[in-house]
Amino acid sequence: MRSFNHPILKDEPTVKDTIEKGIDLVCFSCDKLLGGPQAGIIAGKKELIAQLKKEPLLRALRVCKTTLALLETACTYYFKNEILIEKNLIYKIINRTPKELLETAERLQNILKDNHIEAEIMETIGQCGGGTLTDSEIPSFAVMIKNNFPNKLRSEYAEKMHHHLLLHQKPVLGILKKGAIYFDVLTIFKNEVEEVAQIISETHQMVTNNN
């Protein structure tokens, strides 16, 4: 299995590197580290793994065949970087170019304007991780909905939009910031823009009609 070279990951130790440094056992998350199903892996010295296999609690913690099949599939993506970028969401996101992100933001802005919603494109900074890689930043763009409401009504509008978008049959997560609502395109792909814009437009119409 290859290691993936990316500036964001340059200081992140791999499981293989960690074990080669003499660590006896390494525990890591299948979903967070590999982008696979939710599970955990313990890797390391054979004699210690053998002892863990005898632990009665293992029967309660062992994963099902479906999880193993999904994990195997996720691992096969790492054999070719092109497939990894296409199939693994994390690697797909961190490999998006500024040009692609800006084009996505402009497309979202234009569709919203066609639906009579004023919107502005803002430069933003995304994070690669929460518990790990917290200092790794990804330059991105967001589309902010503009309105001429007074400050209080402006904040109420943003909060209602945020709330109702999450309740939608296909939820859209916006960002509440300083009384406004933003939509960062870092996790919105070109084939999703029209649907996301339509959901935002429908929710905007519902919120404004009820005010």
Domain spans of the chain, in order of start: 7-92, 96-209
pLDDT in tens, 59-83: 888 889 999 999 999 999 989 889 9
**What is the per-residue pLDDT for 151?**
73
Confidence of residue 2 (pLDDT cuts 50, 70, 90): very low
pLDDT at position 3 over 60: no
Average pLDDT over residues 186-197: 95
Task: State the chain's mean pLDDT as an integer.
Answer: 88
Contact 77, 87 (CB under 8 A): yes
pLDDT at position 11 over 50: yes
Helix (H), strand (E) at residue 145: strand 137-145
- Give the lowest-confidence range in 35-49, 105-119, 135-149: 135-149
Q: Is 17 helix (H, G, I), strand (E, B) or coil?
A: helix
Average pLDDT over residues 168-179: 93
Q: Is the pTM of this model over 0.85?
A: no
What HEC string does 119-185 produce?
Answer: EEEEEEEEECCCCCCCCCEEEEEEEEECCCCCHHHHHHHHHHHHHHHHHCCCCCCCEEECCEEEEEH
**What is the per-residue pLDDT for 182?**
95
Contact 27, 52 (CB under 8 A): no
Q: Is 141 helix (H, G, I), strand (E, B) or coil?
A: strand
pLDDT at position 5 over 70: no
Least Cα distance to 189 among 91, 111, 96, 52 occurs for 96
Fold of the 96-209 domain = Aspartate Aminotransferase, domain 1 (3.90.1150)
Average pLDDT over residues 17-38: 89
Average pLDDT over residues 19-35: 89
pLDDT in tens, 110-146: 999 999 999 999 999 887 766 666 667 889 999 999 9
